[in-house]
């Protein structure tokens, strides 16, 4: 990525952060305010993104929905990454037979498409925001675990760890002085890449009616409500969809930048 591209991506992610933390600075209105007389208003100076079937301002809903969508993405990524780190540490120091058993299990789970696994989990937990976080987190954990396991096994089998063993360092010292410092950058890259994916999967569940329920301004739920009127009110679907794509792309670019620096 060029320097200009990095600056643009950084500015965009800064705006996303402001929208998530302080949405009223960018959209002072209420995302739930209903104005039936303004229903299906096309984009205008008063309503830059138009209005929906209840006259709610879509720009305001998209901005305030940033917090909902990112919260789900962050929480799901944190859950999946936490499980992956635990499994990665276990396999890094486990006997070869246990590492093989865990790896085979992870490969079986990884072969199942993420959305399909999330739908299976939702079938047991029921729909809602918290179940969506759990479903996305658990369904993405196998992929993270395979990557972390490979990274940690490489470190454990490296000359650096052999030297620490010769010097008589305890397992805790080896983990603190060598494993953790050499893993943080990899984890940061995976997290930034994972947030964008988690936002997409969470939005997909909401689109199917299995995530955050309306009238919450969650982007996937907004897509679902707008598809009915797509033939004459395209803005109800286009702008939430662009928000999902933009955040996913921004997080991916950030993750790739972190990966390049760590390489």
28-82 pLDDT tens trace: 989 999 999 999 999 999 999 999 999 999 999 999 999 888 888 889 999 999 9
**pLDDT in the model for residue 148:** 87
Q: What is the pLDDT of residue 34?
A: 92
Residue with the bigger pLDDT between 262 and 132: it is 132
Q: How confident is the model at residue 5 (pLDDT cuts 50, 70, 90)?
A: low
pLDDT-derived band at 229, boundaries 50, 70, 90: very high
Give the pLDDT of residue 3.
67
Q: What is the pLDDT of residue 70?
A: 87
pLDDT score recorded for residue 263: 55
Identify the residue with better confidence: 149 or 236.
236
Please, what is the average pLDDT of the chain? 85
Structural domain spans, the chain: 71-262
Q: How confident is the model at residue 14 (pLDDT cuts 50, 70, 90)?
A: confident
DSSP 128-154: SHHHHHHHHHHHHHHHHHHHHHHHHHH
pLDDT tier, 123 (very low <50, low <70, confident <90, very high otherwise):
confident
Please report, rounded to a whole number, the percentage of residues in the chain having pLDDT higher than 90: 28
pLDDT bracket for residue 92 (50, 70, 90): confident
What is the predicted pLDDT for the residue at 258?
Answer: 65
This prediction's pTM: 0.84
Q: Is the peptide bond before 215 cis (omega within 30 degrees of 0)?
A: yes
pLDDT of 158: 77
- Residue 91: strand, helix, or coil: helix
d(CA 122, CA 145): 21
Task: Identify the pLDDT of residue 212.
Answer: 84
Q: Residue 166: pLDDT above 60? A: yes
- Asked if 7 contacts 199 with a C-beta cutoff of 8 angstroms, the reply is no
Average pLDDT over residues 183-187: 80
CATH number of this structure's domain 71-262, picked from the four choices 1.10.3720.10, 1.10.40.50, 3.30.565.10, 3.40.50.11540: 1.10.3720.10
pLDDT(260) > 70: no
């Amino acid at each position: 990525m060029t320097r200009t591209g990095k600056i643009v991506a950084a500015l965009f992610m800064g705006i996303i952060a402001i929208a998530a933390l302080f949405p009223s600075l960018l959209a002072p209105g209420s995302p739930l305010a209903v104005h039936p007389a303004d229903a299906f208003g096309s984009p205008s100076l008063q309503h830059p993104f138009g209005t929906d079937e209840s006259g709610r301002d879509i720009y305001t809903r998209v901005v305030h929905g940033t917090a909902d969508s990112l919260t789900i993405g962050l929480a799901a990524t944190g859950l999946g990454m936490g499980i992956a780190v635990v499994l990665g540490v276990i396999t890094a120091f486990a006997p070869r037979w246990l590492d093989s058993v865990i790896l085979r299990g992870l490969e079986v789970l990884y072969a199942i498409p993420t959305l399909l696994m999330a739908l299976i989990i939702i079938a047991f937990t029921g729909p809602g925001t918290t179940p969506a976080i759990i479903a996305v987190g658990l369904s993405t954990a196998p992929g993270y675990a395979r990557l972390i396991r490979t990274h940690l096994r490489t470190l454990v089998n490296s000359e650096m760890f052999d030297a620490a063993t010769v010097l008589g360092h305890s397992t805790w010292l080896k983990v603190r002085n060598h494993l953790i410092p050499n893993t943080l950058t990899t984890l940061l890259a995976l997290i930034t890449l994972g947030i964008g994916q988690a936002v997409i999967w969470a939005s997909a569940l909401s689109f199917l009616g299995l995530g955050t329920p309306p009238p919450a301004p969650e982007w996937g739920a907004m897509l679902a409500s707008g598809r009915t009127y797509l033939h004459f009110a395209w803005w109800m679907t286009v702008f939430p969809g662009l928000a999902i794509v933009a955040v996913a792309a921004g997080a991916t670019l950030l993750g790739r930048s972190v990966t390049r620096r760590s390489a």
